[in-house]
């Protein structure tokens, strides 16, 4: 995914599923468009927060 799309998902009022490269579901908490980085919460654990390159994120197909 590119940084602009990650920002669009972050700003959206819709619930858009996003996965990390290992298939784990994540919530985007912050996007640094200039540096192509995103801070994400992994799974349901609010303490499992990682900063990753947006290229590691994929938008899950809508069901």
| pLDDT for the residue 63 | 57
Q: Where on the phi/psi map is residue 8: left (φ > 0), alpha (ψ -120 to 50), or beta?
A: alpha
**Domain carrying residue 38:** 3-59
pTM of the complete model: 0.87
Indicate the pLDDT class of residue 52, thresholds 50, 70 and 90. very high
How many domains does one find in the chain?
Answer: 1
Q: What is the mean pLDDT of residues 5-26?
A: 94
CATH number of the domain to which 35 belongs? 2.30.30
Residue with tokens 């298939």: 23
Strands (E), 1-63: 18-20, 25-32, 37-42, 49-53, 57-59
């Amino acid at each position: 995914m590119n940084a602009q799309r990650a920002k669009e998902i972050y700003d959206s009022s819709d619930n858009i599923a996003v996965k990390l490269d290992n298939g784990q579901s994540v919530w985007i908490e912050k996007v640094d468009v200039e540096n192509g980085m995103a801070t994400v919460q992994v799974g349901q654990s609010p303490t499992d927060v990682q900063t990753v390159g947006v290229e590691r994120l994929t938008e899950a197909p809508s069901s």
